[in-house]
Structures are given as structure tokens and as C-alpha cells.
Structure 1
Amino acid sequence: MLRAVGSGASVVVCSTCRLSTESREDTKGRRGGALLAEAIATVRASDPVYEGVAVQEMPCLFACQRHCTVHVRGPGKIGYVLGDFTPGEAAARAILDYAVRHAQSEEGVVRYADWPQGVKGHFIVRTPPEGFVCS
């Protein structure tokens, strides 16, 4: 069930997420998570600033009350699950911009003033790194 991936900074995209609260798939039968993963991969490939952040896909992050969810994570850092995105370039760029700032931070904490507008209001949960809790 587990598949090894790189341990560096990454955005894990739920590839099976619903398209929206109303629809599971688009008119071509594609899930929102798959569309978001494709958009993130395309934006990542278009700009070298994103090279330090891997894009990984995983079926189901178990955030099924939400749609189009991602997990931003890095070794020894607080991770964040975000959701309710509309798949496309704007969401992909905001997620990657946040992930770059997350990767550059010491503990995974990015000042609110430095959050891209496109991620504000999308945070669902934060996860402590293994062996730590937040104080």
C-alpha cells in the first residue's frame, strides 16, 4: 500500500478528490484531484523556482468532506492540508508559491502576510512532524 517517494519538500495531491461540492467529475469524467495534480505539475515544470518542491499524487487524503485537497509537507516541518480549490493554473500557482515559502521556512511556519492570496481560506488542518508537537 505504501510507495516510497523522496523525503524533501513536496505537495501531495489527492488524485481522487471530487471536482467540487456539487460534482464528482468534469464532463469528460475526470476527477478534480487529477485535474489539480495535472495543473500543479504543469505550473511546476514552467518555472525553475518550483524545482525544489516535488509533486506527488496519492489516492484519497481522507478529506472527503472537502474537494481538491493537497498536503504541503517537508522533513522536520509542520505540514498542512488545504482544500476546496478549483483545479487550474491559479490554484496550482498559489499552492506552489506557498510550498516554496514552506520549504524555505525553518519549521514549516509561513507568516500570514507571506501567504499567497490563493491559499487563504483553504487550510483544513496542520500536522506536526514525527517526534514533535507544536507548543
Structure 2
Amino acid sequence: MKLIPVDNAPAVVVCNTCRFSKEERDDPAGRRGGALLFDALVAARADDPAFADVAVQAMPCLFACTEFCTVHLRGPGKVGYVMGRFAADAEAARAILEYAAHFAASDTGQVPFKQWPAGVKGHFITRTPPEGYVVE
């Protein structure tokens, strides 16, 4: 394993080796769902300046293998989230980035439920404390 430095800023880290769906590892063209979701996130971010404060990064395997199309939302001093079970498409990418923009603008990473895009509801897997903290 080799660690690759990235900016310590709000980011959506995509598992680019994630399954395409619960039933299928790859799409009909042989691409993994995580790779397709990464491409959709990069395209959505490029199309909307509202997402400029959130980086999109990829890495192999977030170890959420019982799920599919998983992402880790993280930022310095913020509670992080692992979300999954997304379709590998533009609609899911936009919902993830909309949530991530609210996350980036927050002090602690907590986003009020009324600001959650419908496309992320039901997709949360874990919540992770920021380095050096726990949540009360």
C-alpha cells in the first residue's frame, strides 16, 4: 500500500473498485460501478461551480464490500460519512455533491436533515469522528 498525499480539504473519496450493484460486479461493458460513479462525480463537479469547494478523489477499496458504489465524505475537523448503495449515474453523483457542498460549508460536518438531497437518504453506512475527537 502506498499513501498518496492530497489536499486536506472537504472531499468525496470514491471506491473506484466497488461493485456495479448488489448482484453484478461489472456493468455489461466490464466496468466497475465505483469507476463509473467516479466519472459521474467528476463530470457533475465540472458542470456546476457550486461544487468547487469539494474535491473528488478515487482510491481502490474502502472495505465496504457488502455494499456497492461507496464513497467516503471527509474534511478536516469534520465528522465523516461512508455512504453506499448508489447507482453509478449522474443523478446519484449530483445528490452526493449537493450533500457534500452542505457538508463543506458546515462547521462540524453535520448537515441538517432538511438540507439532505433525497438522493442520499437511506445511503448512509457509517459516521466517523474527526481525527482527535469523538462526538457526544
Normalising by structure 1, what TM-score?
0.99
Question: Counterpart of 2:47?
Answer: 46
SS of match in other structure, 1:97 = helix
Superposed counterparts of 1:1-135, under 5 Å: 1-135=2-136
Distance 2:27 2:123 in 1: 21
Distance 1:20 1:53 in 2: 26
Runs ≥4 residues deviating over 3 A: none
Note the C-alpha offset of 1:122: 0.0
Take 2:44 and 2:125, find their aligned partners in 1: how far apart are those partners?
Answer: 23
Distance across 2 between alignment mates of 1:2 and 1:85: 26
What RMSD, in angstroms, separates the aligned Cα atoms of the two structures? 0.4
Partner SS state of residue 96, structure 2: helix
Tell me, in whole angstroms, the C-alpha distance in 1 between the residues paired with 2:30 and 2:107.
Answer: 41
* Structure 2 unmatched ranges of 5 or more: none
Residue 76 of structure 2 aligns to a residue in which SS? Answer: coil
| 1:35-85 deviations in Å (ceiling 9; x for gaps) | 000000000000111111000001000000000000011100000000000
The alignment covers a number of residue pairs equal to: 135
Q: 2 CA distance for matches of 1:5 and 1:72?
A: 14
Distance 1:54 1:6 in 2: 9
**2:96 maps to amino acid:** I
Any stretches of 5+ residues in structure 1 without a counterpart?
A: none
Query: Percent identity over the alignment?
Result: 59
Look up the SS of the partner of 1:108 in the other structure.
coil
- The letter for the 1-side match of 2:86 is F
Alpha-carbon distance in 1 for matches of 2:33, 2:88: 6
Deviation at 1:113, TM superposition (A): 1.0
